[in-house]
Amino acid sequence: MITIEIKPPYLIFVGDETDTSYAKTGAGLIEWRPELCVGQIGINGGGIDGAPHMTIQEAKEAGVKSLVIGTAAIGGGVPDVWLDTLEEALAAGMDIVAGVHQLLNDNERLVAAAKKSGSRLIDVRVPPKDIPVGTGKKRSGKRILMVGTDCAIGKKYSALAIEKDMKKAGLNADFRASGQTGIMIAGRGIPIDCVVADFISGAAEMLSPDNTDDHWDVVEGQGGIYHPGYSGVTMGLLVGSQPDAFVVCHDAVRTHISGWDDFPLPSIQDVINRVTEIGKQVNPDIRCVGICVNTSQLGGETREKYLSDLSAEYGLPCVDPIIDGTMPIVEQVKSEFPE
């Protein structure tokens, strides 16, 4: 599989950031892949919870292979104040990995330092070359795809939680990353929203290739099937990933497409219907196996009733993956797809 690949273990670079909400990539790596995160490094007092502080030399001695930029500067650039640390990491033989808008490979100082040391500059927003057009041919193995009633609604978190619970339940499963933060967490993947439109389904096929019959690829979703701006990437990912199962991700209190106030949020049933109809083109047996809901704006009793009513309405397990975990959805998968 020709995808972006990141060498573990990692040193997380957080710049001068101290607020976890502004270092979401770094925090996500520490939360979901703590076994890969040897430590963190900041400048000017920067640092977040969850990983020990290290110098570049200490990280080198600990065997770190990649320094991952876990925060973003305003405007998505690579500030000059970062460069001394990044150059030191390159000189120590580490790759530099980033998902910021300004490409590492466009920075002359970093390019020169990487060339001198033989280290790589990995821009995860740049897809691999020579992605083919999708074939639509059936592949071995099984796939479960996250779809949303909107963008920024929990698709990545839900996929990671489902992968974790699938493994707990003894299933053979792997998270397949389709966005830059997911790629850093997984250590590999394809930034689907950066692929030229004609090749999106082909990229999704590369992301989730043939596998053993008992294997589940847990595919991170992108966009929204009803989204006026981003439905194209959603449809390409849906067709290319050929999911056997899908999970709808939803926000309990959102009423309109975020940033598109003239467009009401589609219902969960609308999404189930459209995803099923489109997905049948490449997998006639596609089905919804659960609903993940962000209920953070609901009170305790209200939250429980909301999820209970939703489950009764759709006949599916409905959970908040942060509060409840996703084991009910995993059990649904096991019952519908017995090995």
Residues in the chain: 339
Q: How far apart are CA 137 and CA 209, in angstroms?
A: 11
Helices (H), 93-208: 108-117, 155-168, 180-186, 200-207
Q: Is the domain of 63 the same as that of 112? A: yes
pTM of the model: 0.87
pLDDT of residue 76: 65
Sign, CA torsion 90/95/99/101: positive
Looking at the structure, tell me whether residues 178 and 73 fall in a common domain.
Answer: no
Question: Which residue, of 123, 158, 178, is where some domain finishes?
Answer: 123
Residue 285: which CATH number? Answer: 3.40.50.300
The span from the CA of 285 to the CA of 316, in Å, is 17
Residue 136 in contact with residue 282, Cβ under 8 Å? yes
Distance, in Å, from the CA atom of 305 to the CA atom of 327, rounded to the nearest integer, reads 19
pLDDT per residue, tens digit, the chain (339 aa), is 457 788 999 999 999 888 876 788 898 899 888 999 999 999 999 999 999 999 999 999 999 999 999 987 655 678 899 999 999 999 999 999 998 778 999 999 999 999 999 999 999 888 888 899 999 999 999 999 999 999 989 999 999 999 999 999 999 999 999 998 898 888 889 999 899 999 999 999 999 999 999 999 999 999 999 999 999 999 999 999 999 999 999 999 999 999 999 999 999 999 999 999 999 999 999 999 999 999 999 988 899 999 999 999 999 999 999 999 999 999 999 999 987
* 174 touches 217 (CB < 8 A): yes
Are 86 and 177 contained in the same domain? no
**Whole-angstrom distance, CA of residue 283 vs CA of residue 279:** 6
Residue 54 lies in a domain: yes
* 165 and 306 co-located in one domain: yes
- Overall number of domains in the chain: 2
Same domain membership, residue 100 and residue 231:
no
- Note whether 165 and 238 are same-domain residues: yes
Contacts of 246 (CB under 8 A, 6+ apart): 144, 145, 146, 147, 275, 279, 286, 287, 288, 289
What does the angle CA 63 – CA 44 – CA 86 come to, to the nearest 5 degrees?
40
State the pLDDT at residue 74.
Answer: 56
State how far the Cα of 39 lies from the Cα of 311, in Å rounded to an integer.
41
Which 3 state secondary structure label does DSSP give 210?
A: coil
- Reported as type and span, the H/E element at residue 189 is strand 188-189
CATH classification of the domain holding 54: 3.40.50.720
My answer on whether omega of the bond before 9 falls inside 30° of 0, hence cis, is yes
Q: Is 13 helix (H, G, I), strand (E, B) or coil?
A: strand
For residue 130, tell me if it sits in a domain.
Answer: no
Q: Pick from 88, 123, 158: which residue ends a domain?
A: 123
Q: Which of 226, 293, 236 is nearest to 258 (CA)?
A: 226
Residue 133 lies in a domain: no
Quick one: 204 and 325 in the same domain? yes
**Do 36 and 116 have their domain in common?**
yes
Domain-embedded: residue 128: no
Give the C-alpha separation, 23 to 110, whole Å: 22
What confidence tens digit (pLDDT) does each residue in 58-68 have? 999 999 999 99
If one counts every other C-beta atom within 10 angstroms of the C-beta of residue 133, the result is: 12
- The answer to the question of residue 234 being in a domain is yes
The residue segments making up the domain with residue 222 are: 142-336
Can you tell me the distance from the alpha carbon of 107 to that of 78, in angstroms, rounded to the nearest whole number? 8
Tell me whether residue 12 is in a domain.
yes
Residues 116 and 156 in one domain: no
